Structure 1
Amino acid sequence: MQKSIDRYKAYTKDTVNNKTQVKADALSLAKKLEALEDTKRKILGENLGGCSTEELHFLEGKIEKSLRVIRGKKTQLLEQQIAKLKEKERTLLKDNEDLRGKQRNLEAPLLLSAPNCVAPLQPEQEPVPRDEDVETELYIGLPGVRCSSRRSGQAK
């Protein structure tokens, strides 16, 4: 029975010690949090009236350091994006060249099998008129009759 009482006392003593330790830790964390919030307000430009010149120079250095880090990160991200876009450009150029090669391979048999045909990507050429195909005389009447207005004075 005495052992049980001793264990209980030891447990409650440890609990009391733990409670005081937890309270001290909570107080310490609350002070750190308040200091961080105060620093944050100062960095954001709030409540600077009570700051000394040393504090202002310290804040200025801290802000400049933060800006360098941010600019470095931004530069790194932009360089990565540029590298990805260049790789994509190389891939697209290669794909484009492959497609042009396939097109040439498909057009070559067509040109060989039908030499009179016009290639699909070439503009159409108008046929050159021959002098023998052109009629320049004026005929009046039905197409089969062929009465010239100059030759005959008859009107139908």
Structure 2
Amino acid sequence: MVRGKTQMKRIENETSRQVTFSKRRNGLLKKAFELSVLCDAEVALIIFSTRGRLYEFSSSTSSINKTVERYQRKIKDVCVNNNGIHENTQILKDGDMSMTKRIEQLDNSRRKLLGDELDPCSIDELRQVENQLERSLEKIRARKYQIERQHYLRDEDLEVVAEKREEEVETELFIGRPEKQKR
């Protein structure tokens, strides 16, 4: 004979409910014991009946309290680590958002400096863009003047060196006895 699948809902008949509770409780306690023996696992099982009676099983030699304390420490550590991770994650998200905003601002500024998307700008924003462009242009011209001056000085130095070479006096080198001069 095949057993049918038990429907998972509250058993209405109190006597049947009590019998099922006792059988299943004993089966659950047996499974907890088997798990602890076969797998060398630390198992603690706490069951309260509807009448408030306590049933417990502990695989540890000391007591169920040691297992519950270990569980509470573990939960506390996990919560502390999760809070730390959550805080770090939040900091990274905030940093990411601020970097995204900064990139958008820089991109908008770049477009304005290139003369794009100026239609929605107010007169004050346009003045700021104009002033920024003028300051940039002054810096560019100063750097250009500096480079041109360096090239001019270098070219001038090369010309001076070339002129000195042309002005050098040629001398003859003679090795041997000096000749008598005719008078």
Q: TM-score range by the shorter chain?
A: 0.5 to 0.7
Cα distance change on mapping 1:4 and 1:89 into 2, 3 Å: farther
Cα distance change on mapping 1:7 and 1:85 into 2, 3 Å: farther
Normalised TM-score (structure 1): 0.58
Match of 1:28 among 98, 101, 110: 98
* Superposed CA RMSD: 2.6
Q: Is it true that 1:48 corresponds to 2:118 in the alignment? A: yes
The 2-side partners of 1:19 and 1:43 are apart by: 36
Q: 1:106 maps to what in 2?
A: 172
1:26-105 aligned within 5 A: 26-98=96-168, 101=169, 104-105=170-171
Unaligned runs of 5+ in 2: 1-69, 174-178
The alpha-carbon deviation at position 106 of structure 1 amounts to 3.5
SS of the residue corresponding to residue 96 of structure 2 reads: helix
The 2-side partners of 1:85 and 1:26 are apart by: 52
Cα distance change on mapping 1:105 and 1:21 into 2, 3 Å: same
The 2-side partners of 1:3 and 1:27 are apart by: 36
Unaligned runs of 5+ in 1: 108-112, 114-156
**Bigger relative contact order, structure 1 or 2, given CA contacts below 8 A and separation 6+?**
2
Q: 1:12 maps to what in 2?
A: 82
The alpha-carbon deviation at position 28 of structure 1 amounts to 0.5
Normalised TM-score (structure 2): 0.50
Identity of matched residues, %: 28
Q: What whole-Å deviation, never above 9, does each CA across 1:22-43 have from its counterpart, x for those lacking one?
A: 1100100101110111111111
The alpha-carbon deviation at position 57 of structure 1 amounts to 1.1
SS of the residue corresponding to residue 164 of structure 2 reads: helix
The alpha-carbon deviation at position 8 of structure 1 amounts to 5.2
AA matched with 2:121: C
Q: How many residues are treated as equivalent by the alignment? A: 106
Cα distance change on mapping 1:3 and 1:45 into 2, 3 Å: same
